[in-house]
């Protein structure tokens, strides 16, 4: 079964926010809460990854998003080279 696009999955969960806006929010939240950690660092700490997703879901527009979707989008953001590397 082909994977659904991020846009369609956002819509499926009742979120009418654009993909770029969602990705930017994930990245800003990760930086704010976890400083120098990359997304890889975050997902290697399951309790922190769950907390990160809970923080995302506190925003009304993201309340219905599942943990695995939030983390998948964050990982894809990093894989696409959009995440700034630590110096």
Which of left, alpha, beta for 8 (phi over 0: left; psi -120 to 50: alpha)?
Answer: alpha
Q: Whole-model pTM?
A: 0.84
- The per-residue pLDDT for range 5-63, each reduced to its tens digit, is 999 999 999 999 999 999 999 999 999 999 889 999 999 999 999 999 999 999 999 99
Burial class (CB in 10 A: 0-12, 13-18, 19+), 68: exposed
């Amino acid at each position: 079964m082909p994977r659904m696009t991020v846009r369609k999955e956002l819509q499926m969960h009742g979120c009418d926010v654009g993909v770029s806006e969602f990705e930017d929010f994930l990245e800003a939240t990760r930086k704010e809460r976890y400083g120098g950690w990359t997304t890889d660092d975050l997902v290697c700490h399951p309790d922190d990854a769950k907390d990160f997703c809970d923080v995302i879901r506190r925003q009304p527009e993201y309340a219905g998003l599942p943990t695995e979707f939030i983390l998948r989008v964050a990982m894809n953001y990093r894989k696409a080279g959009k995440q700034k590397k630590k110096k």
